Amino acid sequence: MSILLIEAFYGGSHKQLIELLQENIEDCVTYTLPAKKWHWRARTSALYFMQAIPADPLYRVLFASSVLNLAELIALRPDLADLKKILYFHENQLVYPVRKSQERDFQYGYNQVLSCLVADVVVFNSSFNMESFLSSISTFMKTIPDHRPRDLDKLIRPKCRVLYFPLCFPDVTRFLPEHKLRHRRGGLESTDISAQPAGYHSQSQSEEIKASSTELAFMTQIDPSEKSTVPQPCQEPQGASPNQGECRGQEPATPSPCEHRETEQHRPLHVVWPHRWEHDKNPELFFETLLKLKERGLEFEVSVLGEMFTDVPDIFTAARKQLEGHIQNWGYMPSKEDYIRILCQADVVISTAKHEFFGVAMLEAVHCGCYPLCPKALVYPEIFPAEYLYSTPEQLCKRLQGFCRRPDVVRRHSVKVDTNVFSWETLERGFRSLLTPESDSTSLR
């Protein structure tokens, strides 16, 4: 085994990446610790791995996430010093949100800086992650009372690269509702896996996209004080029968486009929040927004998914009671198939995060046809076009209010996010190059 994969926090996206590499890259051996007590993993995992990893002259590459204090491990195991040492950042502790600045534990960020200095290649899952880390080193080091090190960012930057987190998107066709299937059959969605050329749309498809985008833009201008109104039913063209036009050749029992439109209009908007149940994901803003929609008498359904840990914020218990009657699903889905099925049935996926360096859950939901709404901050502008970003809580509420009034417009929208950019098929070559002992570490993308 020539590639040593080490993960001190084997859960979530950290686990996904290690499993993906182990399944697809030859000659890997893996050593992990369970995803519990993160702070202790960051403090002490090097000492554990010093004893757990046997000496082996065949090792050529060491790949670890930044949870591990790589500097400590190399000092404790000098036989690993000559390996090609790769440090992968899922997140960085220099800008990780804390409730009060004095609560930030200096040690975690310091460990990551030391690990970068020891590593041969430092890889980040996004440009935002890399730049936020490098640009914060100087300020972070000013916490030291005196005799501060200087220009550490200049030592580390030449080693740094961006290699997006790779996702294996499943075939979700069997879970998609009819309106999402129509997008895929028509080649409308950017996540479409058909052979249509990139950016290709027929004239009728282009007109529908334009109309949908116009309606979405208009809905954001609705005054929040206005009462909800029900749009007039869709009208068939004069002289048309149910089997003419787009419905020509279909069985009489098949709904016409107009009937599809009416069905889509009257089914409540389904909102999904698929994030970790922790404060850095800002669940307070999400639930405050939904409660405003409820107060205004708007119809919606909500699925609150994501992984739960020992200390669940109190807001979840309170919100569950306050949103009774609107809840479609509540709680972590241990079955990936059940999780994907819910995403496929949802209309809008929302992030309210105060911390996000990549966003696996948002991209998985987009792959399942959900319309994304994300903060205009953190990593999101790097991945999502401007039309899916909001700048203030008021903007988020206004967008959702319009969507609740006209869910059919959201369902006809073609999401303009190319998830293929983040697929394993696209990124595999970069990871193979990264994990090759003799590869040029400057050519990873």
Question: 98 versus 62: which is more confidently predicted?
Answer: 62
Range 386-396 average pLDDT? 98
Is the pLDDT assigned to residue 99 strictly greater than 90?
A: no
pLDDT at 191 over 70: no
Q: What is the mean pLDDT of residues 395-401?
A: 98
Q: Tokens representing 118?
A: 């020891």
The mean pLDDT of 415-426, rounded to a whole number, is: 95
Percentage of the chain lying above the pLDDT 70 cut: 78
> Which pLDDT value is given to residue 436?
96
Options 3.40.50, 3.30.450, 1.10.10, 3.30.360; CATH for 3-167+424-434 is 3.40.50
Helices (H), 78-202: 106-118, 127-141, 152-156, 178-186
| Residue 9, both tokens | 């926090």
CA-CA-CA-CA torsion for 201, 205, 210, 214, nearest 10 degrees?
-140
Mean pLDDT value across the chain: 84
Residues linked to residue 6 through DSSP beta bridges, in sequence order: 31, 64
Going by C-beta distance under 8 Å and a sequence separation of 6 or more, which residues neighbour residue 206?
A: none
- Write out pLDDT tens, residues 153-181: 999 999 999 999 999 999 999 999 988 98
pLDDT of residue 308: 86
> Is the confidence at residue 132, as pLDDT, over 60?
yes
Task: Note the pLDDT of residue 387.
Answer: 97
Q: Mean pLDDT throughout 332-338?
A: 93
**Segment among 129-138, 206-215, 406-415 with least mean pLDDT:** 206-215
Model confidence at 184, in pLDDT bands (50, 70, 90)? confident
Q: What is the location of CATH 3.40.50.2000 in the chain?
A: 173-220+256-421
pLDDT tens string 228-250: 333 333 333 333 333 333 332 33
Which of the 8 DSSP states describes residue 198?
A: T
Torsions phi, psi for 289 (to 5 deg): -65, -45
Quickly name the fold that domain 173-220+256-421 has.
Rossmann fold (3.40.50)
Average pLDDT over residues 257-265: 52
Residue 357 CB neighbours (<10 A)? 23
Query: What pLDDT is attached to residue 266?
Result: 73
Which of 122, 26, 118, 143 lies closest to 65, judged by CA? Answer: 122
Residues sharing a CB contact under 8 Å with residue 359, sequence separation 6 or more, in sequence order = 351, 353, 374, 379, 380, 383
- Kindly report the backbone phi and psi dihedral angles of residue 373, in degrees, each rounded to the nearest multiple of 5, phi listed first: -130, 115
